[in-house]
Structure 1
Amino acid sequence: MAVEVFNPETGKIEKEDVCQEKFLEFLYGNPIGSLLLWSVFKRKFFSALTGLWANLPISRKSAVKFIKDHSIKISDFTKKPEEFKNFNDFFTREIKPEVRPLSKGANDISFPADARNLAFENISKSDTFFAKNQKFNLESFLKDRELAARFENGSMLISRLCPLDYHRFHHLVSGRLVARREIGGFLYSVNPIALSKNLNYLNENKRVLNLIELENGKMCAVVQIGATNVGSIMNFDKVGDKVLRGNTMGMFKFGGSCIVSIFEEGAAKFDETLIKLSKEPIEYLSKANSKSGELI
């Protein structure tokens, strides 16, 4: 399966460099692979073991090789490649603030991460989530009937990070963090190769639900989702804190991952090109802090 993304810098649709693409296709499209997925790869112990390796000094050489093999832009880093202590130190790297400038509009909504994005004007009416005719179950995702009712007919941004990306994420809006809740689960891949087979992996994965109250009283839910080899989701703000758009919200440790941002009905309007591509669905390549839409 070819994974295509739209690159706004070139104005072209490009094929994504998917890490271990053939292995993902085997796990999520082959009966034997499905057995391995169920017994090993979705389990926390597998990602925990990978995480242990990524924290060892011996993994530093793999980080340097990974940077070189994938031509990751070293000039964005605040450290030199040889200064990383281990693979996770590289993976959770900081980058220079000036390379991810914040869009200037007073009502702007930012992209929360370097990611591939899909946006939907009305969650309840959309059926183009990574594959045609896949319905998104908001109540199962949020694990809260009342909260799901509040966000019914709201708009949503799905931001998918791959292992090549900068894995710190930023606030996409300003407001007050009023609640946070961890939701336990497995660690399936969030790559379209997997999600095109079963969108419910988003509902089954480990995730952290954050609720941000906007200045106009509307609510935004920011849900950080773990995935295969991502057993750790770290948030820097505490409940009750005032948060500012563009500030670093937290980070994922080693692996691919995903952020789902949901706005109440009538609170947000996303970029028209982003909405149009999402209906295909073709993901929109973003850099953290660039504009994704506007608050209404």
Structure 2
Amino acid sequence: MLKEKFLKVLLELPNRRFISYLLRKFATSKMSKVLIPTYAKTYNIRLDEMEKDMKEYHSLHDFFTRRLKEGVRTVDIESDTVVSPVDCVVEDFGIINEDKQFTVKGKHYSIIDMLGKEERTHKYEGGQYFVLYLSPSHYHRIHSPIDGEVVERFELGTKSAPVNELGLKYGKSPLSKNYRVVSELVHNGQHVAVVKVGAMFVNTIHVTNESQAFMRGDEVGYFSFGSTIVLLFEKGSFEIDPAIHYKQDLFMGQKIGKLVSKLK
């Protein structure tokens, strides 16, 4: 019980810069390895899916950023499909309004703030957004949601406030203020912004693939601790799968919708 309580404090504590530094140092140290079995039990990690045996991970961070065995996730191959880039929970989805904003948990988010420059946002006015939350129980590798070419990559923000349900409800716009790594992809002339939002620790989004083109399901990076993905679609370019619903659990590679010809 003591180990479990300590682990939850470690992963779910409201963030402060000095605390983040201390927690990062511990989680990446060999000392943290003793918590791996407790972590796996507390968060019901699917041990049979892991690439390596639990004893082969050298730290809690090493375990947290684990890869999966080949073939344990199936990527939907239907033409023009958009898939979930991560294992996650559907936190929210909807329409980006004419003021280039959307609302999550009563908080208004400006995609100008989220993407850093107004000129990047015009194409998404009136489009759709998806918010996908990764809890400590999830696999934390990030994959491409579409087949597409990378037209821009950039980093923004310095904060690392929590992005869990309470963080979204009571925090100061963490989706557009936290440290984030943004990739903008294009497929058949249609743009999709993949906004990777860090949390818990500063600058913990690691790019593992700097290719200029991706196939659906290609690994592109990983989160270290705490994380959310926001997807932005152009107006009339995306049809959500009717089976998708709020608070749904998704696996990486699962279909969330498809890209369509934009409305004239």
* TM-score range for the pair, normalised by the shorter chain length: 0.7 to 0.9
Amino acid in the other structure paired with 1:237: N
Q: Which residue of 2 aligns with 1:242?
A: 213
Q: Match for 2:122 among 121, 144, 149? A: 149
Please report how far the alpha carbon of residue 208 of structure 1 lies from its aligned counterpart in structure 2 after TM superposition.
0.8
Q: Which residue of 2 aligns with 1:264?
A: 234
Query: 8 Å contact 1:47–1:231 — kept in the other structure?
Result: no
Deviations 1:174-226 (A, max 9, x none): 11112111102211000111211246121211111111121x11111111111
Please report how far the alpha carbon of residue 97 of structure 1 lies from its aligned counterpart in structure 2 after TM superposition.
2.6
SS at match of 1:93: coil
1:231 aligns with 2:203: yes
Q: Match for 2:134 among 152, 161, 176? A: 161
Structure (1 or 2) with the greater strand fraction: 2
CA gap 1:178/1:128 in 2 versus in 1, 3 angstroms: closer
Query: 8 Å contact 1:230–1:252 — kept in the other structure?
Result: no
Structure 2 unaligned residues grouped into runs of 5+: 1-6
CA gap 1:69/1:192 in 2 versus in 1, 3 angstroms: closer
1:178 aligns with 2:151: yes
Distance (Å, rounded) in 2 between the aligned partners of 1:252 and 1:230: 11
SS at match of 1:46: helix
Q: Which residue of 2 aligns with 1:288?
A: 252
Deviations 1:142-182 (A, max 9, x none): 11111122211111111110111111011000111121111
TM-score relative to the length of structure 2 = 0.87
Distance (Å, rounded) in 2 between the aligned partners of 1:157 and 1:121: 7
SS at match of 2:112: helix
- Which stretch of the first structure deviates more once superposed, 135-144 or 81-90? 135-144
Please report how far the alpha carbon of residue 233 of structure 1 lies from its aligned counterpart in structure 2 after TM superposition.
0.7
CA gap 1:20/1:123 in 2 versus in 1, 3 angstroms: farther
Deviations 1:237-295 (A, max 9, x none): 326x1111011111011x21011111111221112242xx4xxxx32210101111111
Distance (Å, rounded) in 2 between the aligned partners of 1:171 and 1:60: 30
Amino acid in the other structure paired with 2:173: N
SS at match of 1:61: helix
Structure 1 unaligned residues grouped into runs of 5+: 1-18, 28-36
Query: 8 Å contact 2:159–2:202 — kept in the other structure?
Result: no
SS at match of 1:231: coil
CA gap 1:231/1:163 in 2 versus in 1, 3 angstroms: farther
Distance (Å, rounded) in 2 between the aligned partners of 1:47 and 1:267: 39
Q: How does 1:1-296 map to 2 (within 5 A)?
A: 20=8, 41-43=15-17, 45-124=18-97, 129-131=104-106, 134-198=107-171, 200-214=173-187, 216-229=188-201, 231-238=203-210, 241-253=212-224, 255-274=225-244, 277=245, 282-296=246-260
Distance (Å, rounded) in 2 between the aligned partners of 1:271 and 1:145: 29
Structure (1 or 2) with the greater helix fraction: 1
Amino acid in the other structure paired with 2:164: N
Amino acid in the other structure paired with 1:57: K
TM-score relative to the length of structure 1 = 0.78
Amino acid in the other structure paired with 2:141: R
CA gap 1:235/1:127 in 2 versus in 1, 3 angstroms: closer
SS at match of 1:272: coil
Please report how far the alpha carbon of residue 57 of structure 1 lies from its aligned counterpart in structure 2 after TM superposition.
0.9
SS at match of 2:122: helix
Please report how far the alpha carbon of residue 119 of structure 1 lies from its aligned counterpart in structure 2 after TM superposition.
4.8
SS at match of 1:159: strand
- Which stretch of the first structure deviates more once superposed, 164-173 or 230-239? 230-239
